[in-house]
A and B are shown apart, each in its own frame.
Chain A
Amino acid sequence: MRSRWIRGLIPALYLLLIYSFILLPVAVLMLFSFQASALPVPPFNGPSLRWYQELFADDRMISALWHSMIIGVISALIATIIGFLAAYALTRFRPRGSQILRGLIMSPLGVSYLVIGFGLSISANQLALGKSLWMVIVGHVVVNMPLAFAIIMSQIKEEDISYEKAARDLGASEFMVISRVVIPILSPGLLAAFLLSFTLSWDEFIISLFLTRFDVTLPVEIWSALRTGLNPQTNAAGTLVFVISVVVLVSAYAFTRRRKGASR
């Protein structure tokens, strides 16, 4: 009886230890964003909203935040649409060499963002294209499309083909089959791909650093703020980035859960 109790205790303690390790930095980041004094280190003498006020009064930070939002939405939308079309095409029509095409489309996943950003930046240079937020959208499509493709492909099921066949037999055009049958069936996977692409774009730093100059994204702005050392305003900005990502992901999780429940 006693040894059984201990056997249950050790895994529980291990989980506790790991979760403390996992959550420690975020907890410290958030706590000291409410610091009242000028350094985000102990002793904690808040809570104060001082650094959030300064953050929202900081025009550069706020415009960077909007840039990140817009780039996230546009690049995630493009990545999801293109990834979906390819995933659907390669699983349903299986053109010759689809195995190779699949590997090709996923290949950017194996390459460091640093090298992708560098490659895009020298290519833009070669073509005399300036650095801009548009280039960041391009960069984020390059890295997120393979991921959207992989997620959506994993959701396409062999058995759903009968619905598509039925629609075609009833005279639906290819466009109608995709818009009325395929997309509704795949909507949880499409949403997951979109939201994941959004958060990855929202968080992405190094590609944005390579491809922007004056107008930057939020992680790049936070990066420049780091040069001045530890600062509670950076904590506040980091907390904001984190909270927005978590809200997006938790709602995605809740949404797919509800869909699963509803279909049962």
Chain B
Amino acid sequence: MKRSALQGWALSGPALIVTGVLFLAPMALVIVYSFWQRVGGSIDQTPTLANYQKILSDPTFANSLVNSLQVVTLTVIISVLVAYPFAYVIAYKVPPKWQGILLLLAVLPFWTSYVVRSYSWLLVLAKQGVVNNALTSSGLISDPISIANTRTGTIIAFVHFFTMVCALTIYASLRQIPDTYRKAARDLGASPFRTFVAVTLPLSLPGVVVGAFLTFVLAIGDFITPQIVGGGNELLLPQVIMLQINRRGDFPLAAALSVVLLLLVVIVYLISAKKLVLRRPT
């Protein structure tokens, strides 16, 4: 018994070292940095709340936070709404032997790099791009519309990616519902709609919550998509963080903004974890 516990520790040692030294320590340093302050060209290591006060008082930061929350919330809602029927059709209307292939096809673009995927959306949405070209040549609009370099562009590119994430988690949830549950509802005289609302939907909510959570976490921390597709007109939180690091060289302020980002994720995690426990069928 004692020997096996020792072996357990020894074998998980490398993973714990990676997590501790290469993840937790740098995160701790980010938190420590956030209480330092840049004075002139150097960093003053006297603990201070100055960065956090600046975040609260300077509208640039509050605005980026609000922008991020709005864009990401919209992304989560639209992605779930688009992904749910998609996952439903794949799980229930498509023969099982085709389901794997269809899902594989759906996640293909998932495997292009962030940078390439965002660049592709820029190609599609640009003023001379495919969408504008199709709209103008079909006579639907006379002048090209700007979608690239706007919030709409960012949301479209986000929804594209996160629809897939949500579709996978919702699909997994739908497949776990035993067929007999839906059959029982139908046998007891429930209409298809009633069966869906009373049986399928509540039982698939864990997949929705997991998908929405992943979408929130990954989207709120993403710098590439807003930077490439959304442009610099309206900055989101990760763009403002990068601006502090690259242009201003203000690492302590960037660290404080990163802590705000981490806190947002923790808050959303606590909320969705609670929901998950409440809704999980027994």
Tell whether A and B belong to one assembly.
yes
* Contact stretch, chosen from A55-63, A89-97, A154-162, A186-194: A89-97
The verdict on A34 contacting chain B, using a C-beta distance below 8 Å, is no
A81 to B13, alpha carbons, bound, how many Å?
Answer: 12
- In-complex Cβ contact of B128 among A18, A39, A85, A88 (8 A): A39
Q: Is the CB of A14 within 8 A of B18?
A: no
Identify whether the interface residues of A are mostly helix, strand, loop, or mixed.
helix
Residues of A in contact (CB 8 Å), total: 81
The verdict on A167 contacting chain B, using a C-beta distance below 8 Å, is no
Residues on the B chain within 8 Å of A174, using CB: 7
Interface residues of B in 105-140 (CB under 8 A from A): 105-106, 108-109, 111-117, 119-124, 126, 128-130, 133
Q: How far, in Å, is A226 (CB) from chain B's closest CB?
A: 6
Residues on the B chain within 8 Å of A141, using CB: 18, 22
Q: How far, in Å, is B23 (CB) from chain A's closest CB?
A: 5
Q: Is the CB of A245 within 8 A of B111?
A: yes
Q: Is the CB of B26 within 8 A of A114?
A: no
Q: How far, in Å, is B266 (CB) from chain A's closest CB?
A: 8
Q: Is the CB of B85 within 8 A of A105?
A: no
Residue of B nearest to A222 (CB): B115
Q: Is the CB of A85 within 8 A of B22?
A: no
Chain B interface residue number, banded: 35 or more
Q: Is the CB of A15 within 8 A of B16?
A: no
Q: Is the CB of B30 within 8 A of A82?
A: no
A119 to B160, alpha carbons, bound, how many Å?
Answer: 29
The verdict on A206 contacting chain B, using a C-beta distance below 8 Å, is yes
Q: Tell whether A126 pairs with B111 under 8 Å between CB atoms, given A83-B15, A114-B242, A226-B228.
A: no
- Produce 1/0 per residue, A220-260, CB < 8 A to B: 00110010001000110110011001100110010000000
- Produce 1/0 per residue, A124-148, CB < 8 A to B: 0010000000000010011001100
The verdict on B12 contacting chain A, using a C-beta distance below 8 Å, is yes
Q: Is the CB of A123 within 8 A of B269?
A: no
Q: Tell whether A205 pairs with B224 under 8 Å between CB atoms, given A116-B26, A141-B18.
A: yes
Q: How far, in Å, is A38 (CB) from chain B's closest CB?
A: 12
Q: Is the CB of B7 within 8 A of A41?
A: no
Q: Tell whether A245 pairs with B112 under 8 Å between CB atoms, given A86-B12, A108-B23, A118-B245.
A: yes
Interface residues of A in 1-47 (CB under 8 A from B): 8, 11, 14-15, 18-19, 21-26, 28-29, 32, 39-42
Q: Is the CB of A242 within 8 A of B111?
A: yes
Residue of A nearest to B252 (CB): A122
Q: What would be 19 A-B contacts, judged by CB atoms less than 8 Å apart?
A: A15-B89, A18-B82, A25-B124, A28-B124, A95-B9, A104-B19, A108-B23, A111-B27, A112-B220, A112-B262, A114-B221, A114-B241, A118-B30, A118-B245, A126-B29, A202-B113, A203-B111, A204-B113, A245-B112
Top 4 A-B pairs ranked by shortest CB distance?
A112-B221, A93-B8, A119-B26, A86-B15
